[in-house]
Amino acid sequence: MKARKNIRELSIDELISVLQEMGEKPFRGKQIYEWLWKKNAAEFDEMTNLSEPLRNMLKESFFIDHITLQDQQISSDKTIKCAFNIEEGKVIEGVLIPTTARTTACISSQVGCSLACKFCATGKLKLMRNLSAGEMVDQVVYLRDQASERYNKSLTNIVYMGMGEPLLNYANMLRSTELITSPEGLGMSPKRITISTAGIAKMIKKLGDDEVKFNLALSLHAANDKKRSQIMEINDSNNLASLSEALIYFHEKTGTRVTFEYIIFKDFNDAIEDAQELSEFAKCVPCKVNIIEYNPIDDASFQQASREKVDAFANYLENKNMIVNVRRSRGKDIDAACGQLANKNKAIRKDERVLK
């Protein structure tokens, strides 16, 4: 028996070609593409403007790698954390973050992560596999629908800041952004999308070569190599000098301002000297800085910096004429805040143990 293929891996041109080989008119390919990406169909039988024989032929040759909801938690601040089942019994997480100013979907790009950042719960899991473009788009669609149904809000922003490193799943990540922004897909502006990376210099340059239109955020967290390597192993192979060079290249190619994410830890990177190093490093490109309060995870030795230290840190940067936002964490009571994904999700922990 011939193995079925994932139909969502086909481009619209490839889909039209397949339908013609089946003896169908080209417009059928366009209809199916719309069902897959604009209407987010999970089954071929949902495609009601196709004949039953055609739907049966599609079922014989293809499958749809659609994710399903396993569990959902709602925080006291209205943040929603979702655990999604994907094929092979694996679980990923996505988060909807509603505020007065915006409604953001935070999505995952991999199952687990290979980078092992010391402050991140996902980093304690091994990398199991990359997500497909469709699995990333599905997270956005579900969280968008939750924003509408529960809070009567439109989705304003998408951040690839969940489980995994997006630049290590480059092709699928890029295709997912194309589907999200395409008129044949979700039709969102690329300026509403931010890709967050732990810092892989050659892939940041590739973003520049591809002249992407979305935003880029670098998880910095320390602006000297010794400290950054202590908490982020990736810095050993992608040090600050290489990242600075890559960011300059990216900005020259795209004209896009870069965001530096800086989780601030008590007695580690919260001193004025640390702020001085950050302000010097940040001169490499037009940027803004998001200072993020630390969210505790199991088995980690870090603590949250005091409000006074955070304010002094931010004030120093502002006095250097930098754009600074202090991000107060949301969803902490359900482990949905920055760095906490997979922290207490039993299904994910069980899955990771089985695969060891």
Catalytic (active-site) positions: 93, 338
Q: What are 110's strand-pairing partners?
A: 130
Q: What are 326's strand-pairing partners?
A: 291
Residue with tokens 């509408």: 148
The two beta strands, 103-106 and 91-98, are antiparallel
Q: For the chain, what is the largest distance between any 2 Cα atoms, rounded to a whole number of angstroms? A: 70
Cα separation, 14 vs 240, in Å, equals 42
- What is the SS3 string spanning the chain? CCCCEEHHHCCHHHHHHHHHHCCCCHHHHHHHHHHHHCCCCCCHHHCCCCCHHHHHHHHHHEECCCCEEEEEEECCCCCEEEEEECHHHCEEEEEEEECCCCEEEECCCEECCCCCCCCCCHHHCCCCEECCHHHHHHHHHHHHHHHHHHHCCCCCEEEECCCCCHHHHHHHHHHHHHHHHCCCCCCCCHHHEEEEECCCHHHHHHHHHCCCCCEEEEECCCCCHHHHHHHCHHHHCCCHHHHHHHHHHHHHHHCCCEEEEEEEECCCCCCHHHHHHHHHHHHHCCEEEEEEECCCCCCCCCCECCHHHHHHHHHHHHHCCCEEEEECCCCHHHCCCCCCCCCCCHHHHHHHHHHC
Cα separation, 23 vs 78, in Å, equals 50
